[in-house]
Amino acid sequence: MQVETQVHPMEGLKKMLLRITKVIPPGSSIYYIDYPVYNNGGDLLIMKGAEAFFKDNHIRVAARYSVLDFPDKLTIPNDQIIVLQGGGNFGDLYPVHQKLREKIVKDYPNHRIVLLPQTIFFEKEAEYDRTARIFNAHKDVHLFVRDTLSYGIAAQKFDKCCVYLSPDMAHQLWPILPKSSPGKELLCFFRTDIEKTSEQASFELAGRGDYLDWASLYNRVEKKSIKMIGQMMTKSGVPLPMQAIWGKYSDYLVDKAVKRFSGYRVVQTSRLHGHILSCLMDKPNTLLDNSYGKNSNYYNTWTSGIKSAQLVVKNEA
């Protein structure tokens, strides 16, 4: 009997994140900015992956700021690397986060600035060009993007910056052990917003499995708690350590997602991080695309070699 010694593809993707240490060397001290304080479990997985990456590579986080509590004026020592959260909000669809990103690039011209893996999407070309002018005026910006489409355009637009192709930060969490044995067969973790597709609708018509999305995973009390923590972060003079409280509470929120996914043998999903979480748990999963090809692009770039995962090609549903 032949013993299987091949490294799991997810281990390989985790190791690819080590290329980030070329611009954030082990032993560095950083300011970690724009981490999520809201109920999108995918972004929480990205944050937990980033924090695990910092810890595993001996990178010291000297300070953390979300978009809610970043001050208008902040003195950051010159020896600190400014590291911005990865995800999918780089562009003109999420102006609050984009404005903070651009403010930091403009306000700290003498710092190294590293943007963790992002998907870039601009509806307006003029906005993309405006952002590129801001970034290209900085002498030490390092932009990691997590799909080939973002990379191809960004490499041209940000011609004075260093642009790299990298998997999502959540891969640093590999492996995630299930919390229980599956008691049910199928979880349909489907988008409930404008990014859903006709292929997803045909799966929904089949009526199989249990349906869930990030918005319905967390209950009313949990959503209210998230909102309250966010409101406290925006206020000055609050005696409670809100960052530490959020760190613990977001651990609970991610753990809830892992527990729910653990209860099913198979996952069908149109959420990118429904797919990534399934892969982190080595759980059989089927990925449906979103409206503008983000999911299929990510799969074809990074996760197509994972035997437990497959992509639904359009018009095959």
CA distances to 27, 35, 155, 177, 238 from 69, rounded to whole Å, are 26, 11, 31, 34, 12
pLDDT of residue 315: 58
Query: What pLDDT, in 10s, does the model give residues 102-115?
Result: 999 999 999 999 99
Point out the residues of the chain with pLDDT beneath 50.
316-317
Separation CA 218–CA 191 (nearest Å): 15
- pLDDT given for residue 238 in this prediction: 79
CB atoms within 10 A of CB 128: 18
Give me the pLDDT at residue 6, please: 82
| Whole-number pLDDT of residue 316 | 43
Residues 6+ apart with CB under 8 A from 83: 24, 30, 31, 32, 33, 50, 113, 114, 116
Question: For 202-249, what is each residue's pLDDT tens digit?
Answer: 777 677 899 999 989 999 999 999 999 999 999 877 788 999 999 999
